[in-house]
Amino acid sequence: MSEGFSESIESLPTGVLEEMYVTMLKIRLFEEKVAERLYEKEIICPVHLYVGQEAIAAGVCQNLNIDDYVFSTHRSHGHYIAKGGGLKELMAELYGKETGCSKGKGGSMHLVAPEVGYMGSSAIVAGNIPLALGTAFSGKLLGNGKVSVAFFGDGATDEGVFYECLNIASLYKLPIIFVCENNLFSTHLPISMRQANPDLSMKVKANSIPFVRVDGNDAVAVYNTARKMIEKIRNGEGPAFIECMTFRWLAHVGPTPDLDVGYRKKKDVEYWMERCPIKKIRSVLTKKKDYSSRKLDDIEKRLKKEVEESFEFTKASNYPNSQNLLRHAINTESEVIQ
Ligand SMILES: Cc1ncc(C[n+]2csc(CCOP(=O)(O)OP(=O)(O)O)c2C)c(N)n1
């Protein structure tokens, strides 16, 4: 299925594979903890889990520098973690604590970590795409060599602004990579019930933007494709588009498997779970001559501890006090209150 650049996995350095594996497992373990806390109703902000899609954030972000720009969506944890955002600040944000990355005022859908180039997530479907276009414009004008990344779901391709952004990015040859995570549904509707022609490639190519579709559960395919595209973007060749075919394992929002809703079949979910992106990269890694499965166990132990520490940190943190409620917000005169 993959039309991506599928170089032999042997040619990928073990270090790169291991780093992607660590990122993916960190996202998975973190979200498993979050799911547990959601069931307990300890976390009460709306949470859109990324379980099943980890290879996309890891494969793309593995190619980025810390000062490249990433813009994310309501399904934000994977991109935040893959770009280097701190787990403690993320967990604290989900609990609304003042030590959270958005000072406890944003919740899961409004994360930010500019110190690592994670410029923010937005709950407005497709709303992050013009924002990424903005940093791409600045990158072009300043000639600073930075690349902007817009991650979005297939639902964003239903929006008019998506098409406007494709046009402008192409017209001005902006340094931006569009990453569509096509998990086959926008909430409960498949793309075939939303668009007359569900084939995205034609729409992207109509704007003269290079398009590649890859298996989004294969971190190596995502990595290789994004690497080639980002190299060209840095060389001034303008935007590129990668469509990553994938599937979310859990409900649109919240921690349940949501099979009772009736919009997807148990056997489809099982099919995709069989094609677990983490299982896949683990099997690639263990085929490397110089890699031992003991190392994988050590990584898992270390990451579980890191997740546990983020939880302890959150428990020990305070909620914002009432005097600070308007800090870091915009007042009625449109001034940012420090
Ligand atoms: C402009 C806008 N329209 C509708 C919504 C309601 N909404 C929230 S998430 C979502 C589905 C988005 O699907 P997709 O972009 O494919 O991302 P996924 O949830 O599959 O990751 C919708 C329609 C919204 N937040 N913003």
Does 185 sit in the ligand 1 pocket, CB within 6 Å? Answer: yes
Quote the ligand 1 centre to 50 CA distance (angstroms). 14
Does 156 sit in the ligand 1 pocket, CB within 6 Å? Answer: yes
pLDDT value of position 53? 98
What CA–CA distance (Å, rounded) separates 239 from 236? Answer: 9
Question: Which residue has a Cα nearest atom 11 of ligand 1?
Answer: 186
- Cβ atoms of 213 and 3 within 8 Å: the answer is yes
% of residues, the chain, pLDDT over 90? 88
Q: Using the predicted structure, report yes or no on whether residue 259 has a pLDDT greater than 50.
A: yes
Does 186 sit in the ligand 1 pocket, CB within 6 Å? Answer: yes
- Mean local confidence (pLDDT), 134-143: 97
- Mean local confidence (pLDDT), 57-80: 98
- Residue 178's closest CA among 136, 218, 117? 136
Report the nearest atom of ligand 1 relative to the CA of 252.
Answer: 19
Does 52 sit in the ligand 1 pocket, CB within 6 Å? Answer: no
Q: Using the predicted structure, report yes or no on whether residue 332 has a pLDDT greater than 60.
A: no
pLDDT value of position 107? 97
pTM for the predicted model, two decimal places: 0.96
Quote the ligand 1 centre to 331 CA distance (angstroms). 28
- Region class of 122: left (phi > 0), else alpha (psi between -120 and 50), else beta: beta
pLDDT tens string 229-253: 999 999 999 999 999 999 999 999 9
Does 218 sit in the ligand 1 pocket, CB within 6 Å? Answer: no
Does 122 sit in the ligand 1 pocket, CB within 6 Å? Answer: no
Question: Which residue has a Cα nearest atom 3 of ligand 1?
Answer: 125
CA within 13 Å, CB half, 100: 25
Q: At 325, is the pLDDT very low, low, confident or very high (cuts 50, 70, 90)? A: confident
pLDDT value of position 329? 72
Does 123 sit in the ligand 1 pocket, CB within 6 Å? Answer: yes
pLDDT value of position 24? 98
- Mean local confidence (pLDDT), 212-222: 97
pLDDT value of position 226? 98
Quote the ligand 1 centre to 313 CA distance (angstroms). 31
What CA–CA distance (Å, rounded) separates 93 from 186? Answer: 25
Question: Which residue has a Cα nearest atom 25 of ligand 1?
Answer: 124
Q: At 292, is the pLDDT very low, low, confident or very high (cuts 50, 70, 90)? A: confident
- Hey, is 280 helix, strand or coil? helix
The single-letter code of the amino acid at 89 is E
Does 155 sit in the ligand 1 pocket, CB within 6 Å? Answer: yes
pLDDT value of position 5? 52
Angle at alpha carbon of residue 254, lines to 252 and 259, rounded to 5°: 60
Least confident of 93-107, 256-270, 297-311, 313-327: 313-327
Report the nearest atom of ligand 1 relative to the CA of 253.
Answer: 19
Output 8 or 134, whichever has higher pLDDT.
134
Domains of the chain: 9-324 (3.40.50.970)
Q: At 2, is the pLDDT very low, low, confident or very high (cuts 50, 70, 90)? A: very low
pLDDT tens string 171-187: 999 999 999 999 999 99
pLDDT tens string 86-100: 999 999 999 999 999
- Residue 61's closest CA among 183, 177, 204, 145? 177
Does 157 sit in the ligand 1 pocket, CB within 6 Å? Answer: no
Quote the ligand 1 centre to 90 CA distance (angstroms). 22
Q: Using the predicted structure, report yes or no on whether residue 330 has a pLDDT greater than 80.
A: no
Q: Using the predicted structure, report yes or no on whether residue 188 has a pLDDT greater than 50.
A: yes
Report the nearest atom of ligand 1 relative to the CA of 182.
Answer: 16
For a substitution probing ligand 1, which of 186, 189, 244 has the most ligand atoms within 8 Å of its CB? Answer: 186
- Hey, is 301 helix, strand or coil? helix
Q: Using the predicted structure, report yes or no on whether residue 265 has a pLDDT greater than 80.
A: yes
Q: Using the predicted structure, report yes or no on whether residue 8 has a pLDDT greater than 80.
A: no
pLDDT tens string 149-162: 999 999 999 999 99
What would the DSSP string read from start to end of 293-315? HHHHHHHHHHHHHHHHHHHHHHH
